[in-house]
Amino acid sequence: MEFKQTQITDILIVEPAIHKDERGFFLETYREALFKSAGIQNRFVQDNHSGSVQGTLRGMHYQVQRTQGKLVQVVSGEIFDVAVDLRRSSPTFGDWVGEVLSAKNMRQLWIPPGFAHGFYVLSDWADVIYKVTDYYAPEWDRTLLWNDPDIGIGWPLINGGLLNISAKDAAGSRLRDAETFN
């Protein structure tokens, strides 16, 4: 397993060691000791699974209390996965990272607490699984506007705009109005 830094050093791409033969493949998706040696000390408390059709955008979600770190992986299909830094004390506050995760590349993305997270489905269907470091707490759940011009996320929208989004996600807060972290 290899851990690669992104433009925001706290967000890591996890490249698994894939062992392939004529039967298929095997890989480890998580090994505590390796994650700890990469600086990820967080304990995971829950696994989630999301299935979505092409053009679905989920996000940008975060919790202002009971913050969640997320380890995101795609087991079928392909997504564009995004994290936005909401830590005001960070030199990368308001910056974003976007990575294509797919069943084919088998990469994972580690997003620590203090970031908004979302993804856009590029394939006909995508199954996304992710580990979280704290439980969902609806009273602390917030949504950052997916297309805030002050952030400028470069979403690769299909056919110039195929978008399936919930009313909650479409009505997210602009960064300038959002609750953020110190």
pLDDT at position 131 is 98
Write out pLDDT tens, residues 92-124: 999 999 999 999 999 999 999 999 999 999 999
Q: Return the closest-CA partner of residue 93 out of 178, 26, 169.
A: 178
Tell me the pTM.
Answer: 0.95
The catalytically annotated residue of 30, 61, 62, 135 is: 61
Residue 62 is among the residues annotated as catalytic for this protein? no
- Tokens (6 digits) for 125: 């269907």
Residues 1-43 pLDDT 10s: 999 999 999 999 999 999 999 999 999 999 999 999 999 999 9
Q: Is 61 a residue of the active site?
A: yes
- Looking at residue 179, what is its pLDDT? 97
pLDDT at 160 over 90: no
Domains and CATH numbers, the chain: 2-177 (2.60.120.10)
Interval 115-141 mean pLDDT: 98
Q: Which two tokens stand for residue 65?
A: 């209390």
List pLDDT tens digits, range 167-182: 999 999 999 999 999 9
In the chain, what is the straight-line distance between the N-terminal and C-terminal CA atoms, in Å?
32
Q: 85 pLDDT exceeds 90?
A: yes
For residues 79-101, give the mean pLDDT: 98
In the chain the beta strands, taken as DSSP E runs, fall at 2-5, 12-15, 19-21, 24-26, 46-53, 57-63, 70-76, 78-85, 96-102, 108-111, 115-121, 125-132, 141-143
Mean pLDDT, the chain, whole residue set? 97
pLDDT of 62 reads: 98
* pLDDT value of position 145: 98
pLDDT at 156: 97
